[in-house]
Amino acid sequence: MKQKIILETKNVSKVYDSNGLVVKAVDEVNLRVKAGEFVGLVGPSGSGKTTMLAMLATLLRETGGSLLIDKQDLGSMSDAQRTKFRREKIGFTFQSNNLVPYLTALENVELMLRLNKTNGRKSRERAIDLLTRLGLEDRLHSLPSQLSGGQQQRVAIARSLIHDPSVVLADEPTASLDTERANQVVQIFADLIHEGQRAGIMVTHDLRMCKYADKIVQMVDGKISRVITERSEIDLLAGTSKFDQLPNNENVEERRWLKKRALISQNLEHLPAGV
């Protein structure tokens, strides 16, 4: 069965020019994500992953090329249209500060519905169902300060899905979680993307999280350097992280760096060019 393409970028570029310092953060990237497809976006620090997500989330305007979501050209929209588009069509999980501190878990999820004026008794039930699926049925009325990091991220994931968005984006959602929690969160995230036939992109530095993705896109210096679609290769990538064996108190930065190096140096050839 051929899935329809929900998200597409055509030679999209982003050049930052701050006081004469020109940085080409994203360089003519072509990317397609189909309905029900979950993409893992990896790459070294500064390779343009967050910039890419920001453009897809209509938070940042491209400086070249174009981005299409549900066949709508993001670049042609006014700021107000983009704000509206963002709250209707896009779900976002950030690395931190996802939740409104004075709203309960349930209220935070419902916030997305309120913004879209689709809140009500029926949608409240959906929000409760979703939070229950994420294992939070006992914490519906807890404030974010009363939740653990993992619980907070699960609330954020529920918030990013409740309004039935076409595209779900997440920037290192598991950065603050331990391995077990991270696995749980990403697995449910992947399931919900598959079930809802949404286009999902998750930026991660943790290669083990790639095993839940259907496609891995690696960026280096603003360009897509590698795309992995074969299941066996994805599993290999996700499983070859020998650094898992390092003791827990090992320097986190170093682990990240080692993992990145492992990815970059991985000898995976015969990949199709482009996407």
Ligand X SMILES: Nc1ncnc2c1ncn2[C@@H]1O[C@H](COP(=O)(O)OP(=O)(O)OP(=O)(O)O)[C@@H](O)[C@H]1O
Applying CB under 8 A, the residues found at the interface with other proteins are 50-51, 53-54, 57, 59-60, 80, 83-84, 86-88, 90, 92, 94-98, 100-103, 107, 111-112, 114-115, 143, 159, 171
Spatial separation of the C-alpha atoms in residues 87 and 18, rounded to whole Å: 29
Paired with 12 in beta bridges are 29
Is there binding between residue 50 and Mg ion (CB under 5 A)? yes
- Tell me which stretch binds ligand X (CB under 6 A): 16-24, 75-83, 148-156, 179-187: 16-24
- Tell me which stretch binds Mg ion (CB under 5 A): 12-20, 47-55, 80-88, 96-104: 47-55
Is there binding between residue 174 and ligand X (CB under 6 A)? no
209 within 8 A of 239, measured Cβ to Cβ: no
Spatial separation of the C-alpha atoms in residues 192 and 135, rounded to whole Å: 14
Spatial separation of the C-alpha atoms in residues 148 and 177, rounded to whole Å: 9
| Residues in contact with ligand X, shown as a per-residue x/- string from 24 to 63 under the rule CB under 6 A | -x-----------------x-xxxxxxx------------
Q: Which residues contact 99 (CB under 8 A, 6 or more apart)?
A: 105, 108, 144, 152, 155, 156, 159
Nearest residue by C-beta to Mg ion?
A: 50
Q: Could you tell me the two tokens for 104?
A: 């309960």
The count of chain residues that interact with ligand X, using the rule CB under 6 A, is 12
Q: How many CB atoms lie within 10 A of CB 213?
A: 26
Which lies closer to ligand X via its Cβ, residue 53 or residue 158? Answer: 53
Is there binding between residue 51 and Mg ion (CB under 5 A)? no
Which lies closer to other proteins via its Cβ, residue 60 or residue 236? Answer: 60
Q: Which does 68 bind (CB under 5 to 8 A by kind): ligand X, other proteins, Mg ion, none?
A: none
Q: Which does 178 bind (CB under 5 to 8 A by kind): ligand X, Mg ion, other proteins, none?
A: none
Which lies closer to other proteins via its Cβ, residue 34 or residue 87? Answer: 87
Given the structure tokens 């329809």, which residue do they identify?
Answer: 4
Is there binding between residue 18 and ligand X (CB under 6 A)? yes
Query: What phi and psi, each to the nearest 5 degrees, are found at residue 100?
Result: -80, 120
Instruction: Provide the 8-state DSSP code for 70.
Output: T
Q: How many CA atoms lie within 13 A of 92 on its CB side?
A: 21
Report in angstroms the alpha-carbon separations of 182 from 85, 111, 169. Answer: 29, 25, 16
Q: How far is the CB of 41 from other proteins (least distance, A)?
A: 13
Q: Could you tell me the two tokens for 173?
A: 């959602």
Q: Which does 45 bind (CB under 5 to 8 A by kind): ligand X, Mg ion, other proteins, none?
A: ligand X
Q: Which does 257 bind (CB under 5 to 8 A by kind): ligand X, Mg ion, other proteins, none?
A: none
Quote the distance between the C-alpha of residue 42 and its chain's center: 11
Q: Using CB under 6 A as the criterion, which residues of the chain lie in contact with ligand X when the complex forms? A: 16, 18, 23, 25, 43, 45-51
